[in-house]
C-alpha cells in the first residue's frame, strides 16, 4: 500500500511535528521503503504466539501507599521554559 | 413519532489513597500549585511508574461491590495525546484488558426497580489542571501538575438507562457504594466523582442505537438531570426537523441549562493505545480477591433491608439512617446502648439531624456521641426528664458538649417525681386556695385543671405530671 | 607510567595500595580528554571540577579502607543517564539545556561505589543510530581510524574507553548500542539481561528493549562494572528482584564441556570474509579449551530487524511525546499551543529521531495497529521461543557482533534501511531480553577491530563472562591500543 504525502501529514499532525511539503515527500518514500521491508512479517504464522505469561513471570510487589514529599516548587519548575505564579506558562489552546 | 433515549454513563472516581497511582506524591486537594510533584508525575525524562498497591485494592473492592468479574491478568496501556496537563504525552490507563468487567447495579426510581449493567471498571491516572489566563494573560494558560497521577477508576455502564431520572438514580447508588466502601469521597464539586453521559435517541421499537453525543462538565446530580433532559429534547428536535444527530462531544452550560458542541475535530483523535512497557501486566490472584471480598463492608442496599428487619423501623427511617455509613454506625451504636430501636431512630432523625443540619455539620462532626444520647434517653425512661425537657437538655448538650447529667445539674432541670416533695407542693397550693377547694369538693370538677396548673407553676414545670395527677386527686378528694 | 592505559582492576589495585591517588588518576584522564576529545568527540560534557571533588572524596574513602573496586576510578557515562545538577542532553537539541534534579539509578550506584565521573559521553540522538553521526552536536570518531564511525548509539562511550579517555563507561543497548560500538572500537561491551539493571533515570528510547551495561577495556572490568550497577530497584517495575552474583569471582573455571551454539542464520552471505575468519578462529580457540561446538538454528532471525524497527519506533514515538516544550527543554515561541508543540519538536529533534517518531506513530495509528505493532509483538514472542529452544541444547550462543567492521562517516547516512541492517546480529538479543557480550577477537588487515558476540540464558551473565574471559586469556588479544 503506497504511503502518500497526505498520510505523512496526518501522522506528522498526530506526532506534533511541523513537516513541510518537501519533507513530506522524503518521509513518504523513506517510510514506504522501511514498511516495504517490514511487510515480510505477514508471512509468519503467529497463531498462539503471545508472550504475556512470560512478561508476568516474576511480577514485582507493588508500591505501598505512603506519601513522601516530592520536589520543591522551584525544583519542579527549574527547567520550565516559562513560568508564572508557581505554574508552567504555555500559549493558549486553540483547537 | 415516539422516541426513547438511550443513556450510558462513564464515571471517573478518585480513589482515596494517600499517594498517587504511580509515584509517592501526596494526593491532598488544594495545595499550592506544583508542590505535590516529583520527577515521575512531572514526566521528567527517564522516570518510571510504580503501581500503588492500595489503589489496586480499592479498584477491586469497587468491582466486587457491583458484581464485576475481577480479571486475573489486566494490562496497563498508554493513551497517547498531547495536552499541557498531561506531562508524559500519554495517560497510563487500561484499554483492551481492564481490571474488571461485566457487573451490575440495581437502582430504584419512581417507576420501580431496574438493573443497570456495568461494562467495565479500569484504573487510570488523572491529568493535571489547566487554568486559562485572564486579562493581560488571556493568550496564555497555566499548568498545575499537583493532580497529575492521582488514581482514578473509570466505571463504564451499559447503555441501559432510558430517562434522566434513571441516570441520576444510578449515579447516586454508585456514589453511595463508593463512599460506603471508603474508596472515594464522592465529592462532585471538587471533581473526585465525575460523570460523562453518552446520550442518543431512537424511535420506540427500533433495536439499533442512534448516533450518540458525549456530554461533559456535568458536576452535580441536578446538572446530570438537566443536561440529559435537554440533550434528549435537542436530539428529538434535530430529527423532527429532518436533521441528523452527529457524533460529538458537548459541554453542559449550567448557567443557560443547555449543551454546546465543542466543535473539535473528532477524527483527529487517534489515541494509539498500546501496552505500557514500563509496567508488567497486573496479576490479581484469587486469594487477594477473597481477602478483599471478606473485608467488604455491608453495602447501602443490604444495610437498608437489614435495618428494617432487625430493628422493625419503617423503610423510610431505614433509608435515612443508612444514607451514610457513619450515620448508620451512629444509629447502631445508640441502639446497642439503649435497646430502643424506634426511640433511637426518632431521636436521630428528629433532634440530632435537625441540629446537625442547622449547624452545617455531618454525623461525624456531631458534638454529641451516641453514649451521651443514651444517657439522656435513660433519663426519659426512668422519669427524670419529660420528652420536652430532654429536647431542651439535648440542645444544651449539643451547644456545650456537656453530658446530660451536667446539664440537668447546672440548669436545675430535673423532673420531680418524688412523692414527698410533690405532696408538699400540693398541700401548700391547697392551703392557699381554700375557696376553690370548697367549690371543687362541691362538685366543680373542672377546677382540677386549675389545681394542676398551680402545682406545676409552683414546681417550675419540673414535677412529673403523672405523679401530680395521682397525688392531687387523692388530696383534693380528702 | 601512563595511568590512563590501565584497566579498572589494574588501576584499582594501585589505588588500594595507595601507590597512586584518585586525584592523580582523574587528572591524568582529564588531561588526556583535553588533548584528544576535540578529535574524537567522545564527550559532550566534561565535568572536570566535579570529578576532582569526587576524586578527593574517593581518596579519603580509600584511606579509611571502606572502598570498593571502583572507588577512585575515573569512569564516564553515556549522556542518556540523568545526572543531578549536570546537563543531560541525550545528544539532542531539545535537551541542550536540560539539568536534571535527580541521578539515574546507574549513576547513583556508581557514585555509591566511589567511582569518579569524568563526564557524559556522546551518542546518537536519543540512542537512535548505529554510528553516533546522529548526535545533534558533533559525531564521535573511531580511535582506530578517525575517518570511521565508532558505531552507535553508545559510540562516545566506546571511543572514550578505546582511546583511554575513561577507564570504563556505561552505555545503553536497545538493539546493539553497547555491543556494536564495542565491536567497532575493539573494546568489551556487555548488554545485561532485561531487568538486571535499573532503567530509572535513563532516558527511554524503547522501554521494553533498553538496558544499561558496561563498556570496558577487558572482560574483568565488565564483570566489576556489572556487579556495581546491577540489582533490583523499587523505582523500576521492570527491574528484577534477583540477587546479583559476584561476577568478578566467577570468571575463572574455563569452558571445558561448555556447549557453544553456532546459529546457521548468523553466518550469512555478504558478511565480511575477514570477520567470519576471525570469528571462526575464536571458536577454534574456545574449542581447544574444551568447549563443544553445537550447530543450532534460530529460524525467525530474518524477521528480527523488522520486528525491532516496528516495536522500538512505536515505543519511542510515545516515549518522546514528553518533549513538548512545556515543562523542560527547547520551546519555540508560537501564538498557540499546537504551533508551539509542532515548531519546538521540529526544531528540537534531528532527522533520524523524527523519522522514527513518524514510523512509530504510523505503526500505532488507527487501522495499522494489528498489522504492525501487534504482529511484531507476536513475532517477537516467536524469536524469544527460538532462543528458549536453542538454550536447551547449548549454554552460550556465539556469533559475530557485526557483519562488517566500522564503516566510514557518511557512508550509510543516506539510506536509513542500510544503517538499520547493520544491527542485524545484535537485535534479537534485545527482543529476547537475554544477555549478550561483544569482545575483540581480531583485526582486519586495515587494523580495524572485529568483535565476537556471546549470548547467554536470561540472568546468566556469569557464563558468558566466563567464556569471554577464557577466550581473552588464551588468545591474548585486547592488549593493543590505537595510535593517536
Could you say which of C78, C120, C191, C227 is catalytic?
C78
Q: Which chains touch C (3 or more CB pairs under 8 A)?
A: A, B
Pairing label, strands B213-216, B248-253: parallel
pLDDT of residue C416: 75
Q: Select from C203, C237, C324 the Cβ nearest to the Cβ of B46.
A: C203
**Residues C94, C348: contact at Cβ < 8 Å?**
yes
Residue ranges covered by each domain of chain A: 5-43
Q: Which of C175, C218, C106, C110 is nearest to C436 (CA)?
A: C175
User: How buried is C226 (Cβ within 10 angstroms: 0-12 exposed, 13-18 middle, 19+ buried)?
Assistant: buried
Q: Is B466 on the interface with C (CB under 8 A)?
A: no
Distance of CA C259 to the CA centre of its chain: 26
Task: Return the DSSP state at B245.
Answer: -
User: If pLDDT is split at 50, 70 and 90, which confidence band does C202 have?
Assistant: very high
pLDDT of residue A56: 55
For B184-216, what is each residue's pLDDT tens digit? 999 998 899 999 999 999 999 999 999 999 999
Residue A2's CB: how many other CB atoms inside 10 A? 9
Q: How far is residue C430's CA from residue C194's CA, in Å, rounded to a whole number?
A: 8
Q: Select from B39, B48, B143 the Cβ nearest to the Cβ of C199.
A: B48
For B317-365, what is each residue's pLDDT tens digit? 999 999 888 999 999 999 999 999 999 999 999 999 999 999 999 999 9
Cα of B214 to nearest chain A Cα, Å: 18
**Residues C319, C207: contact at Cβ < 8 Å?**
yes
Q: How far is residue B228's CA from residue B109's CA, in Å, rounded to a whole number?
A: 16
CB contact under 8 A, B80 and C364: yes
Give contacts of B 115-154 with A, CB under 8 A. 130-133, 137-145
CB contact under 8 A, A93 and C337: yes
Q: Is A48 on the interface with B (CB under 8 A)?
A: no
Q: Is A27 on the interface with C (CB under 8 A)?
A: yes
Mean pLDDT of A32-57: 80
pLDDT of residue B268: 62
Q: Is B42 on the interface with A (CB under 8 A)?
A: yes
Q: In this structure, is the dihedral angle defined by the CA atoms of residues C118, C122, C127 and C129, taken in order, positive or negative?
A: negative
DSSP secondary structure string for all residues of B312-334: ---HHHHHHHTSSHHHHHHHHHH
Contacts with A64 from chain B: Cβ below 8 Å: 53-54
Q: How far is residue C290's CA from residue C288's CA, in Å, rounded to a whole number?
A: 5
Q: Is B141 on the interface with C (CB under 8 A)?
A: yes
Pairing label, strands C74-78, B151-157: unpaired
Pick from B378-387, C4-13, C85-94: least confident: B378-387
- Computed over every residue of chain B, the mean pLDDT equals 92
SS3 B206: coil
Query: How far apart, in Å, are the Cα atoms of C278 and each of C271, C284, C396, C443, C471?
Result: 12, 10, 18, 8, 13
Share in percent of chain C as helix, strand, coil (round to 5): 45, 15, 40
- Residue C212, pLDDT > 90, answer yes
Contacts with A16 from chain B: Cβ below 8 Å: 82
Q: Select from B36, B54, B143 the Cβ nearest to the Cβ of A70.
A: B36
- Residue C1, pLDDT > 70, answer yes
Q: Select from C236, C317, C320 the Cβ nearest to the Cβ of B48.
A: C236
- Residue A51, pLDDT > 70, answer no
* All domains in chain B, ordered by first residue: 3-289 (no CATH), 296-411 (no CATH), 419-477 (1.10.10.410)
Mean pLDDT of C199-217: 98
Mean pLDDT of B171-191: 94
User: If pLDDT is split at 50, 70 and 90, which confidence band does A52 have?
Assistant: low
Contacts with C378 from chain A: Cβ below 8 Å: 44, 46, 49-50
For B118-147, what is each residue's pLDDT tens digit? 999 999 999 999 999 999 999 999 999 999
Give contacts of B 198-237 with A, CB under 8 A. none
Helical ranges in B219-277 per DSSP H:
221-240
Q: How far is residue C185's CA from residue C482's CA, in Å, rounded to a whole number?
A: 9
DSSP secondary structure string for all residues of C275-344: HHHHHHHHHHHHHHTTPEEEEE--TTGGGHHHHHHHHHHHHHHHHGGG-SSSSSS-----SBHHHHHHHH
Record the cell numbers describing residue A63, joined without a space: 508500591
Is residue C68 annotated as a catalytic residue, yes or no?
no
ipTM > 0.90, yes or no: yes
Q: Is B50 on the interface with C (CB under 8 A)?
A: yes
Q: How far is residue C418's CA from residue C108's CA, in Å, rounded to a whole number?
A: 37
Supply angle C-alpha B362, B368, B370, rounded to 5. 95
Show the 3-state SS of C176-245: CCCHHHHHHHCCEEEECCCCCECCCCECCCCCCCCEEEEEECCHHHHHHHHHHHECCCCCCCCCCCCCCC
The whole model's pTM is what? 0.91
Cβ–Cβ pairs < 8 A, chains B and C: 105
SS3 C19: coil
**Residues B118, B128: contact at Cβ < 8 Å?**
no
Could you say which of C22, C177, C278, C422 is catalytic?
C177
Give contacts of B 263-292 with A, CB under 8 A. 263-265, 268, 270, 272, 280-281, 283
pLDDT of residue A95: 60
Which element (helix H / strand E) includes B152? strand B151-157
For C308, the closest chain A residue by CA position comes to A38
Q: How far is residue B114's CA from residue B96's CA, in Å, rounded to a whole number?
A: 28
Q: Give the N- to C-terminal CA distance of chain A in Å, as an integer.
A: 31
Q: Select from C101, C306, C325 the Cβ nearest to the Cβ of A40.
A: C306
Give contacts of A 36-75 with C, CB under 8 A. 37-38, 40-42, 44, 46, 49-51, 54, 58, 60, 63, 71, 75
- Residue B366, pLDDT > 70, answer yes
Task: Return the DSSP state at A71.
Answer: -
Q: How far is residue B14's CA from residue B305's CA, in Å, rounded to a whole number?
A: 29
pLDDT of residue C435: 98
For C102, the closest chain B residue by CA position comes to B39
Q: Is B432 on the interface with C (CB under 8 A)?
A: no
Q: In what order do the strands lie in the sheet with C436-443?
A: C43-46, C116-121, C74-78, C168-173, C211-216, C188-191, C436-443, C449-456, C396-400, C259-263, C292-296
User: If pLDDT is split at 50, 70 and 90, which confidence band does B444 have?
Assistant: confident
Q: Select from A3, A17, A75 the Cβ nearest to the Cβ of C354.
A: A17
Cα of A64 to nearest chain B Cα, Å: 6
Give C321's contacts (C-beta < 8 A, 6+ positions apart).
A16, B80, B82, B88, B89, B90
Q: Give the N- to C-terminal CA distance of chain C in Å, as an integer.
A: 17
More confident residue, C175 or C267: C175
Q: How far is residue A16's CA from residue B89's CA, in Å, rounded to a whole number?
A: 11
CB contact under 8 A, A80 and C327: yes
Q: Is A20 on the interface with B (CB under 8 A)?
A: no
pLDDT of residue C388: 97
Record the cell numbers describing residue B255, joined without a space: 448557567
Contacts with A76 from chain B: Cβ below 8 Å: 34-35, 37, 42, 145
Is residue C177 annotated as a catalytic residue, yes or no?
yes
CB contact under 8 A, B270 and A14: yes
Could you say which of C92, C153, C198, C438 is catalytic?
C153
Mean pLDDT of C56-79: 95
- Residue C303, pLDDT > 60, answer yes
User: If pLDDT is split at 50, 70 and 90, which confidence band does A94 have?
Assistant: confident
Residue B51 phi, psi (nearest 5)? -75, 135
Cα of C114 to nearest chain A Cα, Å: 26
Is residue C318 annotated as a catalytic residue, yes or no?
no
CB contact under 8 A, A67 and B133: no
Q: Is C364 on the interface with B (CB under 8 A)?
A: yes
CA dihedral B280, B282, B287, B292 (to 10 degrees): 140
Cβ–Cβ pairs < 8 A, chains A and B: 120
Q: Select from A17, A49, A79 the Cβ nearest to the Cβ of C98.
A: A79
Q: Is C388 on the interface with A (CB under 8 A)?
A: no
pLDDT of residue A59: 58
Contacts with C376 from chain A: Cβ below 8 Å: 38, 41
Contacts with B48 from chain C: Cβ below 8 Å: 199-200, 235-238
**Residue C45 forms beta bridges with which residues?**
C120
- Computed over every residue of chain C, the mean pLDDT equals 96
For C143-165, what is each residue's pLDDT tens digit? 999 999 999 999 999 999 999 99
For C199, the closest chain B residue by CA position comes to B46
Amino acid at each position: 500500500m503506497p504511503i502518500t504525502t497526505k498520510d505523512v501529514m496526518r501522522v506528522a499532525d498526530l506526532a506534533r511535528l511541523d513537516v513541510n511539503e518537501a519533507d513530506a515527500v522524503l518521509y513518504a518514500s523513506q517510510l514506504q521503503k522501511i514498511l516495504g521491508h517490514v511487510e515480510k512479517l505477514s508471512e509468519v504464522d503467529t497463531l498462539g504466539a503471545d508472550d504475556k505469561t512470560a512478561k508476568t513471570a516474576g511480577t514485582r510487589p507493588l508500591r505501598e501507599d505512603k506519601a513522601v514529599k516530592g520536589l520543591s516548587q522551584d525544583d519542579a519548575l527549574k527547567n520550565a521554559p516559562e513560568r508564572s505564579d508557581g505554574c508552567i506558562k504555555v500559549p493558549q489552546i486553540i483547537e | 413519532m415516539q422516541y426513547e433515549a438511550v443513556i450510558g454513563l462513564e464515571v471517573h472516581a478518585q480513589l482515596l489513597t494517600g499517594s498517587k497511582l504511580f509515584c509517592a506524591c501526596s494526593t491532598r486537594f488544594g495545595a499550592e500549585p506544583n508542590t505535590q510533584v516529583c520527577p515521575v508525575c512531572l514526566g521528567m525524562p527517564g522516570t518510571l511508574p510504580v503501581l500503588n498497591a492500595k489503589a489496586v485494592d480499592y479498584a477491586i473492592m469497587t468491582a466486587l461491590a457491583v458484581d464485576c468479574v475481577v480479571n486475573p491478568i489486566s494490562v496497563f496501556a498508554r493513551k497517547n495525546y498531547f495536552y499541557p496537563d498531561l506531562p508524559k504525552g500519554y495517560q497510563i490507563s487500561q484499554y483492551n484488558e481492564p481490571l474488571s468487567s461485566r457487573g451490575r447495579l440495581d437502582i430504584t426510581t419512581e417507576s420501580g426497580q431496574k438493573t443497570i449493567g456495568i461494562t467495565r471498571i479500569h484504573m487510570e491516572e488523572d491529568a493535571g489542571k489547566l487554568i486559562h489566563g485572564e486579562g493581560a494573560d488571556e493568550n496564555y494558560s497555566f499548568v498545575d501538575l499537583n493532580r497529575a497521577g492521582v488514581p482514578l477508576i473509570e466505571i463504564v455502564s451499559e447503555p441501559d438507562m432510558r430517562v434522566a431520572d434513571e441516570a441520576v438514580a444510578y449515579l447516586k447508588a454508585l456514589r453511595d457504594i463508593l463512599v460506603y466502601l471508603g474508596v472515594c469521597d464522592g465529592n462532585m464539586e471538587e471533581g473526585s466523582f465525575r460523570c460523562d453521559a453518552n446520550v442518543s435517541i431512537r424511535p420506540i421499537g427500533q433495536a439499533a442505537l442512534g448516533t450518540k453525543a458525549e456530554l461533559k462538565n456535568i458536576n452535580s446530580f441536578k446538572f446530570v438531570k438537566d443536561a440529559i433532559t435537554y440533550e434528549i429534547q435537542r436530539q428529538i428536535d434535530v430529527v423532527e426537523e429532518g436533521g441528523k444527530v452527529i457524533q460529538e462531544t458537548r459541554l453542559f452550560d449550567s448557567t443557560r441549562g443547555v449543551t454546546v458542541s465543542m466543535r473539535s475535530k473528532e477524527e483527529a483523535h487517534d489515541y494509539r493505545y498500546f501496552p505500557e512497557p514500563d509496567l508488567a501486566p497486573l496479576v490479581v490472584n484469587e486469594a487477594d480477591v477473597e481477602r478483599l471480598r471478606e473485608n467488604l463492608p455491608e453495602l447501602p442496599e443490604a444495610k437498608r433491608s437489614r435495618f428494617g428487619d432487625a430493628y422493625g423501623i419503617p423503610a423510610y427511617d431505614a433509608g435515612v439512617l443508612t444514607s451514610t455509613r457513619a450515620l448508620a454506625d451512629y444509629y447502631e451504636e445508640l441502639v446497642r446502648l439503649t435497646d430502643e430501636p424506634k426511640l433511637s431512630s426518632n431521636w436521630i432523625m428528629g433532634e440530632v439531624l435537625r441540629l446537625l443540619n442547622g449547624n452545617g455539620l455531618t454525623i461525624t462532626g456531631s458534638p454529641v456521641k451516641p453514649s451521651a444520647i443514651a444517657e439522656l434517653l435513660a433519663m426519659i425512661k426512668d422519669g427524670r426528664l419529660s420528652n420536652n425537657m430532654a429536647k431542651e437538655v439535648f440542645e444544651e448538650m449539643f451547644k456545650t458538649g456537656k453530658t446530660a447529667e451536667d446539664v440537668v445539674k447546672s440548669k436545675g432541670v430535673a423532673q420531680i417525681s418524688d412523692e414527698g416533695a410533690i405532696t408538699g407542693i400540693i398541700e401548700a397550693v391547697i392551703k392557699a386556695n381554700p375557696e376553690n377547694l370548697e367549690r371543687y369538693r362541691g362538685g366543680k370538677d373542672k377546677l382540677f385543671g386549675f389545681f394542676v396548673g398551680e402545682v406545676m407553676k409552683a414546681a417550675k414545670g419540673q414535677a412529673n405530671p403523672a405523679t401530680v395527677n395521682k397525688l392531687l386527686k387523692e388530696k383534693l378528694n380528702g | 607510567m601512563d595511568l590512563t592505559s590501565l584497566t579498572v582492576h589494574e588501576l584499582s589495585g594501585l589505588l588500594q595500595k595507595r601507590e597512586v591517588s584518585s586525584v592523580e588518576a582523574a587528572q591524568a584522564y582529564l588531561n588526556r580528554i583535553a588533548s584528544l576529545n576535540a578529535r574524537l568527540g567522545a564527550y559532550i560534557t566534561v565535568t572536570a571540577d566535579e570529578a576532582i571533588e569526587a576524586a578527593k572524596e574517593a581518596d579519603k574513602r580509600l584511606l579509611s579502607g571502606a572502598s570498593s573496586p571502583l572507588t577512585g576510578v575515573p569512569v564516564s557515562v553515556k549522556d542518556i543517564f540523568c545526572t543531578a545538577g549536570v546537563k543531560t542532553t541525550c545528544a539532542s537539541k531539545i535537551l541542550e539545556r536540560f539539568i536534571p534534579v535527580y541521578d539515574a539509578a546507574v549513576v547513583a550506584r556508581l557514585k555509591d561505589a566511589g567511582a569518579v565521573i569524568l563526564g557524559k559521553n556522546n551518542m546518537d540522538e536519543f540512542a537512535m543510530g548505529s554510528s553516533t553521526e546522529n548526535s545533534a552536536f558533533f559525531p564521535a570518531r573511531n580511535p582506530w581510524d578517525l575517518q570511521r564511525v565508532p558505531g552507535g548509539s553508545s559510540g562516545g562511550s566506546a571511543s572514550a574507553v578505546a582511546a583511554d579517555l575513561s577507564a570504563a563507561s556505561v552505555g545503553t543497548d536497545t538493539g546493539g548500542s553497547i555491543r556494536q560500538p564495542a565491536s567497532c572500537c575493539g573494546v568489551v561491551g556487555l548488554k545485561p539481561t532485561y531487568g538486571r539493571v535499573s532503567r530509572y533515570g535513563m532516558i527511554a528510547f524503547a522501554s521494553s528493549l533498553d538496558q544499561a551495561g558496561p563498556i570496558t577495556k577487558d572482560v574483568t572490568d565488565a564483570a566489576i562494572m556489572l556487579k556495581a550497577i546491577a540489582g533490583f530497584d523499587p523505582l523500576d517495575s521492570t527491574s528484577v528482584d534477583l540477587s546479583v552474583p559476584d561476577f568478578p569471582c566467577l570468571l575463572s573455571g574455563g569452558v571445558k564441556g561448555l556447549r557453544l551454539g553456532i546459529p546457521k542464520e548468523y553466518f550469512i552471505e555478504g558478511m565480511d570474509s575477514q570477520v567470519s575468519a576471525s570469528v571462526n578462529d575464536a571458536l577454534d580457540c574456545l574449542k581447544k579449551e574444551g568447549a563443544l561446538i553445537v550447530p543450532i538454528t534460530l529460524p525467525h532471525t530474518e524477521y528480527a530487524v523488522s520486528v525491532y524497527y516496528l516495536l522500538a519506533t512505536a515505543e519511542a514515538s510515545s516515549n518522546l511525546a514528553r518533549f513538548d516544550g512545556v515543562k523542560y527543554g527547547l520551546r519555540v515561541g508560537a501564538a498557540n499551543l499546537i504551533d508551539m508543540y509542532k515548531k519546538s519538536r521540529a526544531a528540537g529533534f534531528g532527522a533520524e529521531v523524527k523519522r522514527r517518531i513518524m514510523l512509530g506513530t504510523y505503526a500505532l495509528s488507527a487501522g495499522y495497529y494489528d498489522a504492525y505493532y501487534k504482529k511484531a509483538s507476536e513475532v517477537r514472542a516467536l524469536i524469544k521461543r527460538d532462543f528458549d529452544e536453542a538454550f536447551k541444547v547449548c549454554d552460550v550462543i556465539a556469533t559475530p557482533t557485526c557483519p562488517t567492521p566500522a564503516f566510514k562517516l557518511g557512508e550509510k547516512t543516506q539510506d536509513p534501511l542500510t544503517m538499520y541492517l547493520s544491527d542485524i546480529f545484535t537485535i534479537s538479543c534485545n527482543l529476547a531480553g537475554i544477555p549478550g557480550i561483544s569482545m575483540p577477537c581480531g583485526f582486519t588487515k586495515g587494523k580495524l577491530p572485529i568483535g565476537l558476540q556471546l549470548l547467554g540464558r536470561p540472568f546468566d551473565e556469569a557464563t558468558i563472562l566466563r567464556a569471554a574471559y577464557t577466550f581473552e586469556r588464551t588468545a591474548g588479544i585486547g592488549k593493543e591500543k590505537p595510535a593517536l
